[in-house]
Amino acid sequence: MLHRPFLSIVFIAQALYGVLGQSPPSHLPPMEPGVFKAHGEVLIDAPIQHVWDILLDFPSYPDWNPFVRSQVVADANFVPLADQTPHENLRLIIDVQIPPLHGPVDASTPGNPLNAQRSLENITHLDNEHYAAAWGGIEFPDEFLKAERWSVLSTFNGKTFYESEEVYYGLGAVIVKELFEEGLNEGFQAQAEALKNRAEIAV
C-alpha cells in the first residue's frame, strides 16, 4: 500500500487544479493594445440566455448597475426611442459613475454628481447568436480618442462566463487614462459582480 499516499496526492492536486487552476478561456475578439484598457469579468451560475437578456435590458440598468446608471437606446440624433431593443447602428446615451457606486443599488440610489459622466455612443456590433455586443463613443474623431466596449458571454463548466473590455486608443486616451483608468476598471468589475448577483437571484 506504499503507493496509496502518492495516488491521493495526485488526486488532490488534480481536483485542486480543476477548482483553482482553470480559468475560463476568453471569447473577447482580438484587440490591438491601446493606451490602456478597462476590464471586468465574472463566472455566473445562471443560463447564458438569462444573463444575455439582463445585459441587453437597458431600461432595467438603474435597478442594479452601480457603474452604468442609465443606458438609453436612441436614434441617430440621440433622441430616445420608444422601443428600447438594441440594434446595430442605433445610438446610446450612457450615464456612468466613475468610480462606481458602492453596495447594492436600485433606481432610487442617488449618484455622486462629481463622478457622473455622460457618453454618447453607437452600437457597433450586436450578435445575439454568439452573445457578443460592442458600443463605442462617437463624440471625438477616431484619431483623437477611439474606444469600443465589448461584452461577451460564453459557457464554461455549466456556468456563464461574462467578460467586458474596452481598449482606449489615441492621444485623448492618455488623458482618460490619467483621470479614469482606476475608476473605469472598478466600474467594469462592479458591473460584472452586480450582473452576477442579479442573474443568480432572479433565475
**Sites of contact with ligand NAG (CB under 6 A):** 88-89, 122, 124, 138
Residue (96 or 134) nearer to ligand NAG, CB: 134
- Closest to 176 in 3D by CA, of 136, 139, 135, 147: 147
Query: What is the nearest approach in angstroms of ligand NAG to the Cβ of residue 135?
Result: 8
Residue (40 or 86) nearer to ligand NAG, CB: 86
Residue (45 or 88) nearer to ligand NAG, CB: 88
- Joined together, the cell numbers standing for residue 191 give 458591473
Query: What is the nearest approach in angstroms of ligand NAG to the Cβ of residue 125?
Result: 6
Query: How far apart (Å, rounded) are the C-alpha atoms in residues 112 and 108?
Result: 13
Q: How many CB atoms lie within 10 A of CB 129?
A: 5
Query: What is the nearest approach in angstroms of ligand NAG to the Cβ of residue 10?
Result: 51
Q: How many CB atoms lie within 10 A of CB 179?
A: 11
Residue-wise DSSP of 83-111? S----TT-EEEEEEESSPPPS---TTPPP
Please state, in angstroms and as integers, the Cα–Cα distance from residue 189 to each residue in 45, 55, 76, 138, 184, following that order. Answer: 17, 14, 30, 24, 9
Query: What is the nearest approach in angstroms of ligand NAG to the Cβ of residue 145?
Result: 13
Residue (43 or 138) nearer to ligand NAG, CB: 138
